[in-house]
Structure 1
Amino acid sequence: MIKAVFFDLYQTLVRYQPSQEELEAEALKNLGIDITAAALHLPILTANEYIYQQIARRPLSRRSREEVMALYMEYQRIVLKEAGITAEEKVVLNLLGMMQQAKMDLVLFDDVLKALDDLKKRGLKLGLISNIERDMSATLEKLGLSTRLDIVVTSQDAGFTKPQPEIFLHALKQANVKPNEAVYVGDQYQVDVIGASAAGIKGVLLDRDGYYQEKLDCPKIKDLKELIKLL
């Protein structure tokens, strides 16, 4: 019997506004490269998968400033390559600088609050498990999530990062539930689903954009409405 549902944060419960695609397209336009935000959508998803896996292997806090810079330079190279853009290193560096200065707000996906409220009505404990390395209390309160989440576990709190099973086990202990009594929902297969499975938790892949076309060994949903039906 499922007693708790845990969620990832970025691209699962929240997104950026303006979108990264819009900001990247604007930055590239300023660098003389004309491309639409829509054309950058899949390239950014591919680059996101890369960076999430890299951060999971070694958090940014354990990397030197030069290593972090190199990581994000590679991120931008992947975006450009996947978009079919050939650019000199100077362009990549300028693009990274523009994106680092860009201002983005975090907003909830439209289906989040209703889904969380529906799960709460079922008597389920709700939690967040994220590789964030800072206190998120003010942000969660601003988004209206603090009153809906019973447990919040970050890599800063647990001392481990997804996909390490220890961060998931830490959340289970906080919720006082067994692995087979929990479900974890996230947008990254390697980091979220594999990590949860390693801790004995059923992982559910939230693929809002249809990025994962291959057959996977886990339930896949396109929005949180489908999660309600799945449970």
Structure 2
Amino acid sequence: MSIQAIYFDLFETLITEFENGRRRSKRSYDYNTLLGIPNEAFKAEWAARSVKRMNGHFASYREVILDILSGRELTVDEDAIQFLYEARLQEKVLPFEHVEHEIVTLLADLRRKGIRIGLISNCTEEEVSHWRDSRLADYFDDCIFSYEVKCSKPDTRIYALACERLQVRPEDCAFVGDGGSNELEGAARAGLRVFHAYWYNTYIQSEFMKLRSPRELMQHL
């Protein structure tokens, strides 16, 4: 099979938020003091809005927080919201500052082979605000961020859109991801060849070909 384009997931595939099993950011916020919501309750509210956050239903981080506060009839503290937003931006820059050399080498090798490279990421604005300044951006022919296109993995439409934008057929493409959000199954349903990136996140299991290091991808092309 001749591969014309490869699409990558971003978090826990090209970059990771973890080091030695712990978050790089070591984040810890007192949501009860900042927003008037117990920490566990805030995490539940945040998780409940995951799909809408990824699909761009909320235009900004602030809108998510306002929706949570409104649902609980709590007072809005703009300073607290701005503090949390800025702290989240700082958290999300850390993975981009620690791009593995092997990832960069893989992208450079794909470029030399003339294979087009795309990104399909389920994300919100603040999570990828540092993408364009990262070591990765210049290697990509196209990037799809779910919040911008109002569609997220594993919806087959997002993979079809990615192929349309690079003008390639799904059967001539591959998708590489760690398996979060059922992205591997979605890519397979969309007709792409699928590889399971198994070098950062190893707790998600799948039936797809596992790559235990980025360099293994080149062996299968």
Q: TM-score, normalised by structure 1?
A: 0.64
Name the structure 2 match of 1:4.
5
Name the structure 2 match of 1:39.
none
For the aligned residues, what is the CA RMSD? 3.6
Is structure 2 residue 184 aligned with structure 1 residue 225? no
CA distance in 2, matches of 1:213, 1:158: 26
Instruction: Please say if residues 180 and 204 of structure 2, whose CA atoms lie closer than 8 Å, have aligned partners that are also in contact.
Output: no
Name the structure 2 match of 1:140.
131
Q: String of CA shifts for 1:103-135, please: whole Å, max 9, x gaps.
A: 432231231110001011111000111112338
SS at the partner of 1:59?
Answer: helix
Name the structure 2 match of 1:16.
17
Q: 1:59 aligns with which of 50, 53, 60?
A: 53
Name the structure 1 match of 2:80.
none
SS at the partner of 1:152?
Answer: strand
Give the CA deviation at 1:15. Answer: 2.3
Instruction: Please say if residues 159 and 167 of structure 1, whose CA atoms lie closer than 8 Å, have aligned partners that are also in contact.
Output: no
Q: Give the share of equivalent positions with the same residue, in percent.
A: 21
CA distance in 1, matches of 2:65, 2:189: 31
Give the CA deviation at 1:22. Answer: 5.2
Q: 2:190 aligns with which of 181, 193, 199?
A: 199
Is structure 2 residue 165 aligned with structure 1 residue 171? no
Q: 2:101 aligns with which of 82, 94, 110?
A: 110
Task: Give the AA of the match of 2:113.
Answer: R
Give the CA deviation at 1:158. Answer: 2.2
CA distance in 2, matches of 1:182, 1:135: 29
Give the CA deviation at 1:210. Answer: 6.2
CA distance in 1, matches of 2:181, 2:7: 16
Structure 1 gaps of 5+ residues are 29-46, 70-96
CA distance in 2, matches of 1:117, 1:200: 26
**C-alpha spacing 1:21/1:114, structure 2 compared with 1 (3 Å):** same
CA distance in 2, matches of 1:218, 1:5: 16
**C-alpha spacing 1:173/1:159, structure 2 compared with 1 (3 Å):** same
**C-alpha spacing 1:142/1:205, structure 2 compared with 1 (3 Å):** same
SS at the partner of 2:174?
Answer: strand
Q: TM-score, normalised by structure 2?
A: 0.67
Provide the aligned length of Structure 1 versus Structure 2.
180
Give the CA deviation at 1:155. Answer: 1.1
CA distance in 1, matches of 2:124, 2:141: 19
Give the CA deviation at 1:59. Answer: 2.7
Instruction: Please say if residues 5 and 184 of structure 1, whose CA atoms lie closer than 8 Å, have aligned partners that are also in contact.
Output: yes
**C-alpha spacing 1:22/1:182, structure 2 compared with 1 (3 Å):** closer
**C-alpha spacing 1:173/1:135, structure 2 compared with 1 (3 Å):** farther
Task: Give the AA of the match of 1:21.
Answer: R
Instruction: Please say if residues 204 and 218 of structure 1, whose CA atoms lie closer than 8 Å, have aligned partners that are also in contact.
Output: yes
